């Protein structure tokens, strides 16, 4: 679904991504992990066509990104950022309907009943009916991020790119958000690529992880293959214990306190 070949990206003299080669199959759920400044968001910007690589090529579904027009690309791919929507005065339902722009005619209209049913389904699934007429700027950050997800769902893309989508959410809303994305992925056969800072959340929800370090891919594989103390220490420079999640065995990371040895165990 996504093929990245020999990508280099620089900003001025700063080389941010170096010889990135990566393939994502349809329906996979990838997490991109790595320290601050390792190039994760830059990779998302390249995949979304917002930035252009200095070298190399990216194809979506066998076609170079550069060959897609804006509307065609919007039907193929949607992007959701950390703070998905600005606090504007538009009401929730209208904002979600804005996600339909790739399907609207030149007057910005789409009159089909199917589209209305799709909107109703999204409002139900994201439990937004009570908020339908509230303007975005009175919502909490968590509610706004749910609306942002609804707008992206209305776009009915085949690929969704998420850049740290749970940063401003509390733990309940983080899990709720990831559950919603995971169920959408299962139901629609969606391909998901998400930048993740929370490695435990990444191990729970992603089936593959890509590890970036100083602009290079240093590892890729399943959470079980990737989340181990040695790799975490070499990439993030922290000491950790890895334990198996009691429910399904996914690796979960416990940070070690640097002073713990001094108190003796």
Ligand X SMILES: Nc1ncnc2c1ncn2[C@@H]1O[C@H](COP(=O)(O)OP(=O)(O)OP(=O)(O)O)[C@@H](O)[C@H]1O
User: Quick one: which of 31, 34, 150, 251 contacts ligand X (CB under 6 A)?
Assistant: 34
Q: Does 42 bind ligand X (CB under 6 A)?
A: yes
Q: Does 162 bind ligand X (CB under 6 A)?
A: no
Q: Which of residues 2-31 bind ligand X (CB under 6 A)?
A: 11, 14, 16
Residues ≥6 apart with Cβ < 8 Å to 249: none
- By CB under 6 A, which span of 38-46, 62-70, 120-128, 219-227 interacts with ligand X? 38-46
User: Quick one: which of 15, 28, 41, 156 contacts ligand X (CB under 6 A)?
Assistant: 41
User: Quick one: which of 4, 38, 102, 162 contacts ligand X (CB under 6 A)?
Assistant: 38
Q: How far is the CB of 71 from ligand X (least distance, A)?
A: 26
Q: Count other Cβ atoms within 10 Å, centred on residue 211.
A: 24
**Which CB sits closer to ligand X, 15 or 59?**
15
- By CB under 6 A, which span of 35-43, 61-69, 127-135, 153-161 interacts with ligand X? 35-43
Q: Does 166 bind ligand X (CB under 6 A)?
A: no
**Which CB sits closer to ligand X, 43 or 153?**
43
- Provide the sign of the torsion angle of the four alpha carbons 229, 196, 250, 26, taken in this order: negative
Q: Which of residues 206-225 bind ligand X (CB under 6 A)?
A: none
Q: How far is the CB of 203 from ligand X (least distance, A)?
A: 18
- By CB under 6 A, which span of 34-42, 150-158, 172-180, 240-248 interacts with ligand X? 34-42
The site for ligand X, by CB under 6 A, has a size of 11
Q: Does 105 bind ligand X (CB under 6 A)?
A: no
Q: How far apart are CA 166 and CA 173, in angstroms?
A: 8
Q: How far is the CB of 145 from ligand X (least distance, A)?
A: 17
User: Quick one: which of 6, 23, 37, 129 contacts ligand X (CB under 6 A)?
Assistant: 37
**Which CB sits closer to ligand X, 123 or 235?**
235
Q: Does 87 bind ligand X (CB under 6 A)?
A: no
Q: Count other Cβ atoms within 10 Å, centred on residue 137.
A: 12
Output the 3-class SS for the chain.
Answer: CEEEEEEEEEECCEEEEEEEEEEECCCCEEEEECCCCCCHHHHHHHHCCCCCCCEEEEEECCEEHHHCCHHHHHHHEEEECCCCCCCCCCEHHHHHHHCCHHHCCCCCCCCCHHHHHHHHHHHHHCCCHHHCCCEHHHCCHHHHHHHHHHHHHHCCCCEEEEECCCCCCCHHHHHHHHHHHHHHHHHHCCEEEEECCCHHHHHHHCCEEEEEECCEEEEEECHHHHCCHHHHHHHHCCCEEEEECCCCCCEEEEECCCCHHHHCC
Site for ligand X, rule CB under 6 A = 11, 14, 16, 34, 36-42
């Amino acid at each position: 679904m996504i093929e990245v070949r020999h990508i280099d990206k620089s900003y001025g003299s700063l080389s941010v991504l170096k010889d990135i080669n990566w393939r994502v199959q349809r329906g996979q759920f990838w997490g991109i992990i790595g320290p601050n400044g390792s190039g994760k968001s830059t990779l998302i910007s390249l995949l979304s066509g917002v930035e252009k690589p200095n070298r190399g090529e990216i194809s979506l579904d066998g076609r170079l990104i550069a060959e897609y027009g804006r509307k065609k690309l919007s039907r193929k791919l949607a992007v959701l950022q950390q703070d998905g929507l600005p606090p504007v005065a538009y009401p929730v339902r209208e904002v979600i309907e804005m996600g339909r722009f790739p399907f609207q005619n030149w007057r910005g209209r789409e009159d089909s009943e199917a589209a209305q049913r799709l909107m109703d389904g999204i409002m139900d699934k994201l439990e937004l009916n009570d908020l339908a007429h509230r303007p975005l700027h009175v919502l909490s950050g968590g509610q706004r991020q749910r609306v942002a997800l609804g707008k992206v769902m209305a776009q009915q893309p085949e690929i969704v790119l998420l850049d740290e989508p749970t940063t401003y959410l509390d733990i309940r809303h983080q899990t709720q958000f990831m559950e919603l994305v995971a169920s959408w992925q299962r139901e629609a056969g969606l391909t998901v690529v998400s930048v993740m800072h929370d490695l435990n959340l990444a191990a729970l929800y992603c089936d593959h992880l890509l590890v970036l370090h100083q602009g290079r891919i240093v590892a890729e594989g399943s959470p079980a293959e990737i989340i181990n103390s040695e790799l975490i220490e070499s990439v993030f420079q922290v000491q950790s214990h890895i334990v198996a999640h009691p429910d399904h065995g996914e690796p979960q990371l416990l940070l070690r306190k640097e002073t713990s040895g001094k108190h003796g165990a």
